[in-house]
Amino acid sequence: MATQQTRTLGRVLLAPSVILLFLWMIVPLGMTIWFSLLRYNLLDPGTESFVGLLNYQYFLTDPAFFAALANTLILVGSVLAITVIGGILIALLMDQPIFGRGIVRLMVIAPFFVMPTVSALVWKNLLMHPVSGLFAWVAGLLGLPAIDWFTNWPLLSIILIVAWQWLPFATLILLTALQSFDEEQKEAAEMDGTPAISFFFLLVLPHLARAITVVILIETIFLLSVFAEILVTTGGGPGLATTNIAFLVYAQALLQYDVGGASAGGIVAVVLANIVAIFLVRLVGKNLDA
């Protein structure tokens, strides 16, 4: 039974976290909204003026915005597809009687701990380089022409790198969920002689549904903000080929010094992320009650 005293104590203990997070969220966000309504260029200080929704009009009608939006959606969608499908397959494999499973598991999750700048540069140079990269050598062995990844398939190259980083996350979560699958159900299905395919679609996949949802939502949140991988490999190019919303806002703010326009873009990014966030928060909330 919580007494008045413990309740007050609880509030005091909670206050620093709540206040700091509130400030962290509301002050910069409020400033972003305010800047987004100004004409404000860092190269031209002292000339700020209120322009209403003009920045949004510019940003949302800029062809660069549509290119960036398309790139963002393609990037997020492709990485999700690769990591979820690949993650399910690898998790199913890891759940098998593998000799030395612990070590295999370590190898599979390792990419998740590699910092983004390292994975991007190692892939770009050591693997994807059109002349000396390992992929070019493998293509040569197979009698295929070497691919100039970052020139001809820039967005695909980024997708592969990011998918490699997130595949372990999906695998790990799906494997955790898979291991809570009822052993008895497995045995019963085996005795009934249920074919492996229908066993998977009728029993395993529904069991994984929740974990898959979690993977999709959490990855989406992070994938909407992919930045370092683009910065160190393509710088958003060639042209706008690998510019996503996050990179576009960065370029507008810190390369073109257009604070107003970048802020409008930032708010658009916040709105996009919030659409996903609502679903995730609901899902987690449901779990909290259970």
Partner 1 sequence: MARRISTTHRVTATAAGWLVGFLIFFPILWMVLTSFKTELDAFSTPPQFLFFHWTTENYAIVQERSNYLHHAMNSIILAFGSTAVALVVAIPAAWSMAFAPTKRTRDTLLWMLSTKMMPPVGVLVPIYLLFRDGGLLDTHIGLIMVEFLANLPIVVWMLYTYFKEIPKDILEAARMDGATIGKELIFVLAPMAVPGIASTVLLNVILAWNEAFWTLNLTTVDAAPLTTFIASYSSPEGLFWAKLSAASTLAIAPILVLGWFSQKQLVRGLTFGAVK
Of residues 148-167, those binding partner 1 (CB under 8 A) = 164, 167
> Could you tell me which residues are beta bridge partners of residue 38?
50
Nearer Cβ to partner 1 (158/177): 177
Cα 152 from chain centroid (whole Å):
24
Stretch that binds partner 1, among 51-59, 73-81, 87-95, 151-159 (CB under 8 A): 87-95
**149 closest CA partner among 168, 174, 131:** 131
Q: How far is the CB of 39 from partner 1 (least distance, A)?
A: 14
Q: What's the first-to-final CA gap in the chain, in angstroms?
A: 21
What are the tokens at 147?
A: 């691919």
Examine residue 100 and tell whether it contacts partner 1 (CB under 8 A): yes
Candidates 4, 13, 43, 142: give the one binding partner 1 (CB under 8 A): 13
> Could you tell me which residues are beta bridge partners of residue 168?
none
Stretch that binds partner 1, among 75-83, 120-128, 149-157, 197-205 (CB under 8 A): 120-128
Residue with tokens 């009687």: 97
Neighbouring CB atoms inside 10 A of 24's CB total: 10
Candidates 137, 144, 185, 205: give the one binding partner 1 (CB under 8 A): 137
Q: How far is the CB of 261 from partner 1 (least distance, A)?
A: 10
* Run of H or E including 137: helix 134-141
Strand locations in 129-249 (E): none
Q: How far is the CB of 188 from partner 1 (least distance, A)?
A: 11
Q: CA–CA separation, 208 vs 177, rounded Å?
A: 6
Stretch that binds partner 1, among 44-52, 60-68, 96-104, 198-206 (CB under 8 A): 96-104
Nearer Cβ to partner 1 (52/100): 100
Candidates 119, 157, 242, 243: give the one binding partner 1 (CB under 8 A): 119
Nearer Cβ to partner 1 (151/176): 176
Residue with tokens 């991988």: 229
In order, the DSSP letters of 104-133 are HHHHHHGGGGS-HHHHHHIIIIIIT-TTTS
Residues in region 261-280 near partner 1 by CB under 8 A = 262-263, 265-267, 269-270, 272-274, 276-277, 280
194 secondary structure, DSSP code:
-
Residues in region 214-253 near partner 1 by CB under 8 A = 214, 218, 221, 224-225, 227-228, 231-233, 245-246, 249-250, 253
* Run of H or E including 49: strand 49-50
| Number of chain residues interacting with partner 1 (CB under 8 A) | 108
Nearer Cβ to partner 1 (57/256): 256
Examine residue 130 and tell whether it contacts partner 1 (CB under 8 A): no
**How far, CA to CA in Å, does 107 sit from each of 119, 123, 172, 195?**
15, 17, 12, 31
Stretch that binds partner 1, among 75-83, 147-155, 194-202, 209-217 (CB under 8 A): 209-217
Burial class of 74 by CB neighbour count within 10 A (0 to 12, 13 to 18, 19+): middle
Examine residue 64 and tell whether it contacts partner 1 (CB under 8 A): no
